[in-house]
């Protein structure tokens, strides 16, 4: 797995480096070009990935071990899959409703809280964020592209 990740980062580093060279990775008379800093960041990524790749080939004993055990992998998926559904939910029903549902489900499912406490905290956090962003900062966050569950209070 280390070899695969190192190769992935090597390719990303090369893509960023080529793009930054096209933008201008040199220092001009008026300061750094657009690609100056991305070029050096990609150089650091390339060097680090090369070292990781070298060490992965050098250490053959570690390659015989499994990448991940079953239980830790299940725990990662228990967080990753609901997070992906949450991102989809933000697009479809908006950030406030999706966040209230996400928080409540996680508190009840993983935190083992009673459902009414989880729902209260999820709703309270979402209402606080709604008030903070929509009214105080006047920064609209996504309300949902499929349906807008908050349309009943006049949000478009």
Per residue in 95-138, pLDDT (tens digit) is: 999 999 999 999 999 899 999 999 999 999 999 998 999 889 98
Euclidean distance between CA atoms 105 and 98, whole angstroms: 11
Which two three-digit tokens encode residue 132? 């903070």
Per residue in 10-60, pLDDT (tens digit) is: 999 999 999 999 988 888 778 888 889 999 999 999 999 999 999 988 886
Note whether 148 and 94 are within 8 A (CB): yes
Q: Where are the alpha helices (DSSP H) in the chain?
A: 2-23, 36-58, 60-63, 70-93, 95-109, 115-130
Note whether 91 and 59 are within 8 A (CB): no
Euclidean distance between CA atoms 94 and 85, whole angstroms: 12
DSSP single-letter state for residue 149: G
Backbone angles phi, psi at 32, to 5 degrees: -70, 145
DSSP code per residue over 27-59: EETTEE-TTHHHHHHHHHHHHHHHHHHHHHHH-
Most confident of 41-45, 66-70, 77-81, 147-151: 41-45
């Amino acid at each position: 797995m280390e070899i695969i990740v190192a190769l992935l980062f090597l390719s990303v580093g090369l893509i960023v480096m080529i793009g930054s060279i096209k933008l201008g990775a040199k220092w001009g008379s008026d300061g750094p070009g657009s690609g100056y800093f991305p070029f050096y960041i990609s150089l650091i990524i390339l060097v680090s990935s090369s070292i990781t790749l070298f060490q992965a080939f050098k250490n053959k004993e570690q390659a015989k071990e499994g990448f991940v055990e079953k239980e830790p992998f299940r725990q990662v998926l228990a967080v990753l899959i609901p997070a992906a559904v949450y991102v989809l939910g933000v697009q479809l029903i908006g950030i406030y409703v999706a966040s209230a549902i996400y928080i409540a489900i996680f508190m009840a499912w993983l935190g083992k809280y009673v459902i009414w406490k989880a729902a209260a905290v999820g709703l309270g956090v979402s209402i606080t964020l709604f008030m903070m962003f929509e009214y105080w900062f006047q920064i609209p966050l996504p309300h949902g592209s499929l349906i807008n569950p908050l349309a009943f209070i006049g949000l478009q």
